[in-house]
Structure 1
Amino acid sequence: MKDYITTDEWNIIEEGFNPDYHKISESLFSIGNGRMGQRANFEETYSGKTLQGNYIAGIYYPDKTRVGWWKNGYPEYFAKVLNACNWIALEIKVNNEIVDLSTSEVLSFKRILNMKEGYLERETLLRLNNGCVLEIKSTRFYSIVDDECGALKYQITAKNFDGIIHVKSILDGDVKNQDANYGDKFWTQVYQEQIKQQAILTLRTNKTEFDVCTGIETYLVLNGKALENTFEQIQKEKYLASSQTITVKAGDQLSVFKYAANISSENHSKENLVEVCKRTLKNIADKGFAKLLKEQADAWGLKWKTSDILIKGDAKAQQAIRFNIYHLYQTYTGKDVRLNIGPKGFTGEKYGGSTYWDTEAYCVPFYLSTAEQEVSRNLLIYRYRHLPKAIENAEKLGFKNGAALYPMVTMNGEECHNEWEITFEEIHRNGAIAYAIFNYIRYTGDKDYLVDYGLEVLIAIARFWSQRVNWSEQKKRFVILGVTGPNEYENNVNNNWYTNLIASWCLSYATEALAYVEEKAPHVYSALIAKTTFDKITETVRWNEIVENMYYPEDKDLGIVLQQDGYLDKEQMMVRDLDPKHYPIHQNWSWDRILRSCFIKQADVLQGMYFFEDNYDEETLRRNFDFYEARTIHESSLSPCVHSILAAKLGDEKRAYEFYLRTARLDLDDYNNDTQDGLHITSMAGTWMSVVEGFAGMRVRDGYLHFKPMLPEKWESYSFNILFRGFKLNVKVAHDYTIIQNHSIENIKLFVNGSPLLIKAESEKEILSLKKECI
């Protein structure tokens, strides 16, 4: 674990430059706007260790996969979001020496991610080998107002020298992914053009043939006065640059302004990309940097009004929750139904930027409560649009009759993951898709979604489970063999409890959905039955038989369910007894050793009990929580939040807080020694869940909000906003009271600690804590 980020409630601050931490900081200080993003690479030359990364949403390459041995059903490629054209690049020479923090003496360094207003800032004082001392101050952002645009202000102050500063403003499309399986470059040039201070470069992805036109305009200002454009133009394949030399005296300040546009063929016709790029560049250049930055701050202010969580008395916790919320909204805005949320977002190459089940299980709840309903609905429609591909994926594995297996990893609906224990066996992901439909409807009341889209998906998923189970004559039950559950430190197991549970639930929910649509929309129902050739009697009888006779492993002596058959055959060790030098075990142990151990990568049984907690009494939850928590090593970012929520439900404030802090500061403190690869974007939604569903105990039951608040001992109070079925609420929890404000034009009925509460329009209610009431 690392602890080098300064604690601040609204900013992520790095003071002092440590090259060993630079790649971690490149992840932490990443910027984005839902349409595109980039790592916090330096603008000027840097010859030290770095992971260059500029990313455009929806643009990917099917990199031919590398496996030592092939199996039927393996996808031929792993889809990857691409390192795209680098528009921030500058080469700065001072008296003929290249400015490079790796080779210069860094006298002072400060990097700030301003989360409140949405920009990245850096201040650096350095001494070059030639003795020149200069100060660099850079500010850059991706606009969430003009979401195809970015802007950079780069200032150089001559501290102790007269001489020349040579500025080269670069547009570099000759880039590659560091994770390219065969070292290939994925872009070819289509068009380039330079006119005065403007450079335009259109690149096309190999195979997928996406076009992206990137344009920049560069302006120089010396001591507040605009300089005449005397750029020398440089042109190479996939590379354009403009070079200019400026004479300065000690104390002079040279400012470089770069405005950028990334125009994609996903959003515009290929024939018009250059025209649109030029028009966009003119628009933002005419606004100017100051106005663009003001618009950015105002727009982020609006986002924070609905999504902020305010924590009093714990600055580290406050910083962490805002860090997580900020990166979620940098990654996904919900404007485009074709886009989804990669586990690393725009912060790194790991996981390829593809869609995983993380979105449905963790991100949907966050967007349901903090954004307009359309945002979470679009996440569901994304999967609906991929249903034909999910059916194809299942067919490749031998399933039939419209059964669907949604991919573990995808860009376009096709499976593109090729580790057999994941691709073929981690089939519980199908359940997360169905659960998200249920969760969305439960929260919004939008049952029309079931009619228009949801039922068709549920039928296809249920057909998959119906074919994937088999009858065990020995157990006289249906079983599911050869699977990997959420705990990926167990492969090819039989009867993973969570998988069996989610499969059975999917069959029940699909049956309920069929009955609802048949009654409420008979014409839609009839058309769908015909489209899917659904045999209601035969298929639902089979589904019900499976539900009634599903096998669930358990140990009655311990009073727990078993993660899978044979789990107790493993040597039972506690995580607390493991020498910390072994952490993380996936980096220090052989895979054989991991698979033979009892250690759990992430919540597995507890994931199921989180989803369906109302099915279990408190003592059952407690026994299972205590048993599995002691064996869970939390080397998946998705794990601590589930433990935090359940610990809070059980009234275990100490462990709830510990797990909250771990999930919230996972990247800030680099708990798992992997932040340099990129941030854990999807698990960041779990941080929000830990507060709202954990400490505040928010649930939706029978169309009503329920709260069961608790307050961590270290906090004075916390508050958050909730959007729910047209209502906007603010909930504040303190030691002695809870206040719920209804900022809506209608009254709302909800429940606090099981008791009904009516809050009139534009008013609030204060609920005394049980402790205070007793006093």
Structure 2
Amino acid sequence: MNQNYIKADKWCIVEEGFDKENVKSSESIFSIGNGAMGQRANFEESYSGATFQGSYIAGVYYPDKTRVGWWKNGYPEYFAKVLNAPNWIGIRVYINEQELDLSTCKKVSAFRRELNMKEGCYTRSFEAVTSNNIEIEVTVRRFLSLDIDEIGAISYSIKVLKANAEVVFEPYLDSGITNEDSNWDDKFWNTTNTSIIGDRAFIEAHTMKTNFQTCTFMQATLQYDGKHIAGEVGKRNETYASLEFKQKVLAGTTITLTKFGGYTVSRNHKANELVTAANTVLVKAISLGFDGLLELQKKAWASIWEMSDIVIEGDVKAQQGIRFNIFQLNQTYLGTDSRLNIGPKGFTGEKYGGSTYWDTEAYCIPFYMATKDDKVAKKLLKYRYNHLEKAIENATKLGFSNGAALYPMVTMNGEECHNEWEITFEEIHRNGAIAFAIYNYYRYTGDYSYIPEMGLEVLISIARFWHQRVNFSEDKNKYVMLGVTGPNEYENNVNNNWYTNYLAKWCIDYTLEQLDKVKNGYPDDYHRIIGKTKLTDRECESWKKVAVNMHFPYDKKYGVFLQQDGFLDKHLVKVNDLPKTDRPINQKWSWDRILRSPYIKQADVLQGFYFFEEDFSLEQLQKHFDFYEPFTVHESSLSPCVHSIQAAKLGRMEQAYNFYLRTSRLDLDDYNKEVEEGLHITSMAGTWMSIVEGFGGMRVINDKLSFQPQIPEQWNAYSFKVNFRNRIIKVHVSAKAVTFQLSGSKEVSIRVNGEKVVLYPDEIITV
């Protein structure tokens, strides 16, 4: 059984009824963020039940020393922890001197959470009978401002229902926090100062080792009976600062605390000016007030949705799923800062660490290219260029030379910081995803400038890595790749993973092609790059030999490329023949048993068919899909989207739809029984791809945008927009027709089901 307590709604995520078993899951699902910071949906008031406290600041991390039983040469020295940051949302509440705690209340009723994705605001409400028998009604609203991204706002209202009561609010800041996943129980934060000035409080703290300087700040005001109620200094110690507001509240009346809070960080300000910067931000927020700041929030989200929304008619759960995915992607990354990237958990949890995986290049860049503009995607590519020297260092530590680069599996600053050897050393296909993203960016945007300016240097270093990573096999008379792990992490230390070998060949071919193109079209850049990299014609010839003579495992009986050497030696029992009690196997089986099984965590060969579909026929795709999908357990969040796209291409819309539902509601329905650890942010871009590339059939073919639209029978219609080379195209698909509408000043030629269609500005074209 999947969790099923989230109510279906087109624009909101809704939970009704208080269940302690759901608290940690809901803390993930109702998380909020604004690209600069974010937080799990922890209760503002104290909660003594099971909870996972988490507030996060973009780009702030701690290098937690690696914990392994024995050291391996080249092993990363640390695992970059996404840090639980000082808490600014806390508000202790006392009713007649008894602290409000939903875990100890005699009764909790009418409990409701709502995450309004259209407006970017989170609301929680409930009625409670406290342990000292006071009946209250509480409504809390919270959001993180997109316009002023260093601040968030909370409105906390209490209505006393049957008897007069004294209500005490204690809004606070707390830097005495810890991470749930510390390796050595290190102290991650050092607090240097706490201060309270009037109705404002500040905590200055820095991270240990990395020395990110931060100021956590707040300002609070209390309104009752139309009046402003003054507060006073509350508690203060070396890691804690609070204000205190006390008021007698008459039965049937409401009292409201408004709290503004957030972070200023040395990444954006001088370290000695953080409190000043915090005061500046607070002045802006107070001048606007909660409602004024919320109005700006609504407008900012309306602008985001105007371009990125996907509308589905006739299927509320599917609609809710895609909007949840799009909402969380935009909460995590907005493209305003090229120093940042898209972490796999975003601002919703600590698992995986790091801010950057290959997920960004393989899954996220298409979403940002089509729903923002090319500047946002280019920042993501620039992020990798800025880390090129570190990628070369990473490869050097493993014994590579001559400027070969191995981009990290997990990173914060370009250094590898992943701690599982079979991934750190072996899952080298991530290099190929970065090269593919360079190709994909140019293919989609038509902007070639990145390649001569930055990208070609990246490609050369990656090609050098592949050239050094292969061996020549006398037995096969081919170049082989030994000891790797493909995207399917249920196969470790295999030889000749087909996907990795194919990527390596493609990367070399593409790099050589770009060298010729830059040499002929951008001679100044070419000479600069050759001078910097010391690349020679002789070296390029040695690359060509590898690309031409790469080994690809293949089986004539089945007519398929094999995932790796020896795949057919496994006991080929299909997933459908596994007892349901064995699923998910990553929680039920030993690792030894998983590695000896044929079961595939995520698309591997099919990932290659997705990237390079023009290299393979539809018949080949069908053969490989039919062979590998029955062995795929989809226990990676990145798996269902690729299968949805491939199933749609094969015309298997029912199967494509089911995969779409799984990817879009992976967290909402907690398919993998782990949502309490945080959301799967980067795979959410795959949900968008499932509709736009899968059902919509969008591709760039021969430099033209192309569509082959289909529609699941469960839907009446769906529509989406894409920004293609600064032209906004709206696509609406129903069972009867497909319509296209172009915004802009110039017409554009596209292809629909292989036929040329010319779109003119502001005209609706029906196919």
TM range (shorter): over 0.9
On the 8 A contact 2:328/2:681 being kept in 1, the answer is yes
On the 8 A contact 1:600/1:634 being kept in 2, the answer is yes
Q: CA deviation at 1:353?
A: 4.2
Match of 1:19 in 2: 20
Match of 1:245 in 2: 246
Q: Which amino acid aligns with 1:331?
A: T
Match of 1:654 in 2: 654
Match of 1:149 in 2: 151
1:31 and 2:32 aligned: yes
Match of 1:169 in 2: 171
Other structure's SS at 1:221 match: strand
Q: CA deviation at 1:184?
A: 2.2
Q: Which amino acid aligns with 1:492?
A: N
CA distance in 2, matches of 1:429, 1:417: 13
Match of 2:259 in 1: 258
CA distance in 2, matches of 1:109, 1:225: 29
The Cα offsets for residues 512-561 of structure 1, whole Å up to 9 and x where unpaired, read as: 110111111111111110111111x1111111111111000011111111
The Cα offsets for residues 611-654 of structure 1, whole Å up to 9 and x where unpaired, read as: 00111111110010011110000000000000000000010101
CA distance in 2, matches of 1:21, 1:126: 18
On the 8 A contact 1:261/1:280 being kept in 2, the answer is no
The Cα offsets for residues 296-315 of structure 1, whole Å up to 9 and x where unpaired, read as: 00110000000000000100
Q: Which residues in structure 2 correspond to 1:450-529 (within 5 Å)?
A: 450-529=451-530
Q: CA deviation at 1:354?
A: 2.4
CA distance in 2, matches of 1:644, 1:449: 31
Match of 1:772 in 2: none
Match of 1:138 in 2: 140
Q: Which amino acid aligns with 1:291?
A: G
CA distance in 1, matches of 2:204, 2:701: 52
Match of 2:324 in 1: 323
Other structure's SS at 1:630 match: helix
On the 8 A contact 1:214/1:261 being kept in 2, the answer is yes
Q: CA deviation at 1:283?
A: 1.0
Q: Which amino acid aligns with 2:266?
A: S
Q: Which residues in structure 2 correspond to 1:281-430 (within 5 Å)?
A: 281-430=282-431
Other structure's SS at 1:377 match: helix
Other structure's SS at 2:203 match: strand
Other structure's SS at 1:654 match: helix
Q: Which amino acid aligns with 1:213?
A: C
On the 8 A contact 2:373/2:726 being kept in 1, the answer is no
Find the partner of 2:131 among 124, 129, 132: 129
Match of 2:557 in 1: 557
Match of 1:644 in 2: 644
CA distance in 2, matches of 1:596, 1:344: 30
Q: Which amino acid aligns with 2:589?
A: W
Match of 2:546 in 1: 546
Q: CA deviation at 1:350?
A: 0.4
The Cα offsets for residues 399-428 of structure 1, whole Å up to 9 and x where unpaired, read as: 000000000000000000121100000000
On the 8 A contact 2:354/2:417 being kept in 1, the answer is no
Q: CA deviation at 1:244?
A: 2.4
Find the partner of 1:226 among 228, 238, 241: 228
CA distance in 2, matches of 1:652, 1:214: 52
The Cα offsets for residues 175-198 of structure 1, whole Å up to 9 and x where unpaired, read as: 111111112231111232211110
On the 8 A contact 1:456/1:528 being kept in 2, the answer is yes
CA distance in 1, matches of 2:700, 2:228: 58
Root mean square deviation of aligned Cα:
0.8
The Cα offsets for residues 376-408 of structure 1, whole Å up to 9 and x where unpaired, read as: 100000000000000000000000000000000
Q: CA deviation at 1:161?
A: 2.0
Match of 1:611 in 2: 611
CA distance in 2, matches of 1:185, 1:739: 58
Q: Which residues in structure 2 correspond to 1:674-689 (within 5 Å)?
A: 674-689=674-689
Q: Which residues in structure 2 correspond to 1:756-771 (within 5 Å)?
A: 756-767=756-767
Match of 2:740 in 1: 740
CA distance in 2, matches of 1:262, 1:280: 10
Match of 1:185 in 2: 187
Q: CA deviation at 1:582?
A: 1.7
CA distance in 2, matches of 1:147, 1:560: 51
CA distance in 2, matches of 1:123, 1:185: 36
Q: Which amino acid aligns with 1:281?
A: L
CA distance in 2, matches of 1:745, 1:729: 12
CA distance in 2, matches of 1:354, 1:421: 20
Other structure's SS at 2:353 match: helix
CA distance in 2, matches of 1:616, 1:635: 26
CA distance in 2, matches of 1:131, 1:556: 76
Q: CA deviation at 1:70?
A: 1.2
Q: Which stretches in structure 1 are left out of the alignment for 5+ residues?
A: 768-775
Q: Which amino acid aligns with 2:177?
A: V
On the 8 A contact 2:721/2:728 being kept in 1, the answer is yes
On the 8 A contact 1:261/1:281 being kept in 2, the answer is no
Q: Which amino acid aligns with 1:613?
A: E
Q: Which amino acid aligns with 2:56?
A: Y
Q: Which amino acid aligns with 2:119?
A: E
Q: Which amino acid aligns with 1:696?
A: G
Q: Structure 1 runs of 4+ off > 6 angstroms?
A: none
CA distance in 1, matches of 2:227, 2:718: 48
Other structure's SS at 2:435 match: helix
Q: CA deviation at 1:584?
A: 1.3
Match of 2:599 in 1: 599
CA distance in 1, matches of 2:225, 2:514: 68
Match of 1:770 in 2: none
Match of 1:449 in 2: 450
Match of 1:92 in 2: 93
**Structure 1 residues 151 and 230, CA gap change in structure 2 (3 angstroms):** closer
CA distance in 2, matches of 1:319, 1:701: 31
Q: Which stretches in structure 2 are left out of the alignment for 5+ residues?
A: none
Q: CA deviation at 1:233?
A: 2.8
Match of 2:281 in 1: 280
CA distance in 2, matches of 1:230, 1:172: 19
Q: Which range moved further: 366-375 or 217-226?
A: 217-226
Other structure's SS at 2:671 match: coil
CA distance in 2, matches of 1:93, 1:272: 35
Other structure's SS at 1:418 match: coil
Q: Which residues in structure 2 correspond to 1:622-637 (within 5 Å)?
A: 622-637=622-637
CA distance in 1, matches of 2:239, 2:342: 29
Other structure's SS at 2:508 match: helix
CA distance in 1, matches of 2:759, 2:280: 50
Q: Which residues in structure 2 correspond to 1:558-573 (within 5 Å)?
A: 558-573=558-573
CA distance in 1, matches of 2:410, 2:323: 28
Q: Which amino acid aligns with 1:225?
A: K
Match of 1:8 in 2: 9
Q: Which amino acid aligns with 1:652?
A: R
Other structure's SS at 2:311 match: strand
Aligned sequence identity (%): 55
Match of 1:773 in 2: none
Match of 1:116 in 2: 118
Q: CA deviation at 1:224?
A: 3.2
Match of 2:214 in 1: 212
